[in-house]
Structure 1
């Protein structure tokens, strides 16, 4: 299967503004590219590429005053298979986890484990360890939060999502991640493209998507509390502890987002 994906983002700056961009696809997906995936700018801007501490392909720019449009469009191969359900993946004892996985057991900016630990153990402490426990957390999160674009809140934490019972895909991801961490299951945040492939067309404008991964059976597995069903055609961009680590852009000065267009479509030959 082939997918065409990309975006046009416009930022209005009142002064020269340094920005960090997490807008490339993840290095693990680059071998699947059928065309180049590069960031382009509608004004002369020099970009420096780097890998961040989580292995994401990022860029640094100095956005000049005025409107700057950042774009990319590419084609990529996808196997067309839905997310794998790791029904038999085991949960590791903490002493057996790789060193680089331990950080995904800890609380973070939006994953406030300290506020949800007691609740998590009361709700999931008697569930079988491993995938059954993760599935119980996904089912709870999917039913507990109502999706509503109009109620997006960039300051809402996992605990806030639990209390408010409303949010967008990042809120589903943060709550599921936090509950997993409370139950000693490493979990991390993912962002990327997820088009309406193999499902009814969503009438809302296309957006980037957030989901999660859990570490079971020696590797990372995709989970998605918002949809709570295997999906086709995910294109990973970045992973981190929570949304703060994979923000599309991080600006060091005033920068207003004034244009936002995302495309993710299956190419029908």
Structure 2
């Protein structure tokens, strides 16, 4: 008998279901569709809108950060949006690469410089003195970023009393955070230390970790430019994970909001799933959709930019 070589990839089924209530016809943008990336292969994907809406003038486009955006004009009433996908990702956890150096600013690629500046939720200029006091003495790029993650993991309490629209400095001062806040605060400290850092949203399945029985949501982490590449850091969990599916990157959550509506809307229901699977194709849409507790009755103005957060 011939033994097959061990696989270097696993499959993850991920997706969401969103129900909106709209008082008037409303233009909407969705940043929800992962693309092919190194270490991330999309095997199958589908979306469904009820009522059946064409994309506005057949428009999907790439924004300034390379994220794929859907553009629709939703009629008044109820809008249901479902996206379901099957992705292939690496079996290896996030790389840990101590010793990666910190580049001088004058050596950085021009396209990374915007990720040194403050942004809407990343008030790195207001946290600069604290960043240099805590981490300025640490040599090495990787070591400095890891020290930031260790500090946030020890300092911020997950979940309790956190809010969904705070800046990095506000979250840090409160002592409470969801993973959106962990990501913003990590980005803020890194930018204050002259390390280009960007916010990331996506899916994170519970693979090789104890199951989390809370309702799943989109996840947020961050990336730092070290040794010529964007490197993954996750201050919320602060240990290497398997099964990330990256949806979008940007300066902060305002650039990666899963939905932006140009009008008053109500998010009546939300389900998110991400699970390892042996499936090789997606099952019929009417069957097999994961059923999870729902997030009811939140106004989109409260959720814009929210990628909350396990």
Q: By the TM > 0.5 criterion, same fold?
A: yes
- CA apart distance, 1:132: 0.7
- CA apart distance, 1:268: 3.8
Alignment correspondent of 1:222: 232
Matched, 1:81 2:89: no
Aligned pairs for 1:1-269 (under 5 A) are: 1-28=10-37, 32-35=41-44, 37-47=45-55, 48-148=59-159, 151-268=161-278
Give the TM-score normalised by structure 2.
0.83
Q: Deviations over 1:21-41 (max 9, x none)?
A: 101013426971221x23320
Return the index of the structure with the highest Cα Rg: 2
The answer to whether the Cα contact below 8 Å between 1:19 and 1:252 also exists between their aligned partners in 2 is: yes
Gaps of 5+ in 2: 1-9, 280-310
Give the TM-score normalised by structure 1.
0.96
Q: Deviations over 1:124-164 (max 9, x none)?
A: 1111131111111010111111111x634232000011111
| Partner secondary structure for residue 34 of structure 1 | strand
Between the two structures, name the one with larger relative contact order (CA 8 Å, sep ≥ 6): 1
Aligned residue pairs, count: 267
- CA apart distance, 1:86: 2.0
The answer to whether the Cα contact below 8 Å between 1:18 and 1:61 also exists between their aligned partners in 2 is: yes
In 1, Cα distance between the equivalents of 2:268 and 2:38?
Answer: 29
| C-alpha distance 29-64 of structure 1, shift in aligned 2 (>3 A) | farther
The answer to whether the Cα contact below 8 Å between 2:35 and 2:42 also exists between their aligned partners in 1 is: no
Higher helix fraction (1 or 2):
1
Gaps of 5+ in 1: none
Q: Deviations over 1:9-63 (max 9, x none)?
A: 111111011111101013426971221x233201121212100000001111111
Q: Deviations over 1:38-97 (max 9, x none)?
A: 332011212121000000011111111111011111111112110001212111100000
The answer to whether the Cα contact below 8 Å between 1:138 and 1:225 also exists between their aligned partners in 2 is: yes
The answer to whether the Cα contact below 8 Å between 2:40 and 2:90 also exists between their aligned partners in 1 is: no
- 4+ residue stretches of structure 1 with deviation over 3 A? none
- CA apart distance, 1:258: 0.8
In 2, Cα distance between the equivalents of 1:217 and 1:68?
Answer: 45
